[in-house]
Amino acid sequence: MTALLEVRSLDKRFGGLHVTRAVSLTLAAGERVALIGPNGAGKTTLVNQVSGVIAPSAGSIHLGGEDVTRRSQAERVRRGLARTFQITTLAPHLAVQRQVELALFEREGLAGHAWRSIDGYPVLAEEAGALLVQLGLGDRAGWPTERLAYGEQRLVELALALALRPKVLLLDEPMAGVPRSDAARLLAALDALPGDLAVLVIEHDMDLVFRFARRIVVLADGAVLAEGNPDAIRANPDVRAAYLGH
């Protein structure tokens, strides 16, 4: 399979602190890959480099075969990369549907058209509404996000990412802070992601990891400790000693 995302020998230092050590990984269309490891392993730092939040010290990042290592976050989004964050970044007082409409507005390159209201694009409102219905949030469209349960806020973040029509989706701990009572809805939404979408998920919830991922990459001390299918990772003695704890 041709890789949609390819990370080649990525390295990151913060002064004397070496947080990413020659990490390489690939992600092809339709793949479901989990990135796991103990706290401090460098998972979020790696994803921050891939998404353009921080620049690597060495190595390269390729999207669709194009080197985007020095490209901005916005340029990577335009090339098909989207992500969610470990901590919610939603506007608390803005209606759910309007937030999704704004993401669509940005995707279509209309943000610079200040002379025309977003309400002048009913097709975007229809698309936003359909996306919310798909994620089980149709009855929450007019609510400000501060009124939503935390699991529902996670679904809104997923809607914002999907509104960009990504080819590669990075999910940074989607289950973080989500109570068990809301977990089933989020898991169902992840299971229903488009089949051709390449997904890399960082997660500590091993139930989600082993249910969702077809391939698992394990980081320890900033380097790849192991990589393989779920059964191979469960059986790997180094992974069991370093992370799974049994």
Q: Domain count for the chain, please give it.
A: 1
pLDDT score recorded for residue 115: 46
pLDDT score recorded for residue 117: 64
Q: State the alpha helices, DSSP H only, in the chain.
A: 43-51, 73-78, 96-107, 122-134, 150-163, 180-191, 206-212, 230-235, 237-239
Strand order in the sheet with 66-67: 17-28, 3-14, 58-63, 66-67
pLDDT score recorded for residue 99: 92
β-pair type (66-67, 58-63)? antiparallel
**Exposed, middle or buried: residue 142 (CB in 10 Å: 0-12, 13-18, 19+)?**
exposed
Structural domain boundaries, residue 167: 3-244
Query: Over the chain (246 residues), what is each successive 10-residue block's mean pLDDT?
Result: 91 95 97 93 94 97 96 94 81 93 85 61 90 94 94 93 95 87 87 94 89 95 95 91 66
Q: What is the CATH number of the domain that holds 218?
A: 3.40.50.300
Query: Cα torsion for 167, 54, 214, 137, to the nearest 10°?
Result: -60
Nearest to 153 by CA among 104, 186, 127: 186
Q: Which two tokens stand for residue 60?
A: 């390269």
